[in-house]
Amino acid sequence: MYRAKIKRVYDKPEKTDGYRMLVDRLWPRGIKKEDAHLDEWNKELCPSTALRKAFNHKEELFEMFALRYREELTGKEEELHRVKAILDHQNLTLIYAAKDPKINHAIILLDVLKNVK
């Protein structure tokens, strides 16, 4: 059984990461592309720019952000199934740049992916 997890782009890559997918719309500051050790940069499953800016990583807005982001993801079933297929064959690590590991979109995306049939 393969597993999915999330990890900050600034954390050291590990062999157990498996397929490393950046899920941020903007390239992370201070990281060279070759140093990120990515298999893919997936911008399609990222929150919209408007939603990202409205959230602005404020803890008090996370609940509203999570709800709206889940709504955005409902229109991306084909891409969610494609990513789930990767997980069916190897470990998957969703890479993000946000500072707070408890309030970021990768948490929500991981939960959504776990429920894709």
Give the residue extent of every domain in the chain: 4-114
Rounded to whole angstroms, how far apart are CA atoms 111 and 62?
Answer: 15
pLDDT tens digits, residue range 34-85? 999 999 999 999 999 999 999 999 999 999 999 999 999 999 999 999 999 9
Q: pTM for the full model?
A: 0.94
The identity of residue 105, as a single letter, is H
pLDDT tens digits, residue range 91-116? 999 999 999 989 999 999 999 999 99
Running DSSP on this structure, what letter comes out for residue 109?
H
Beta bridge partners of 50: none
The identity of residue 107, as a single letter, is I
SS3 state of residue 45: coil
Q: Which two tokens stand for residue 86?
A: 């990767």
Q: What is the pLDDT of residue 117?
A: 84
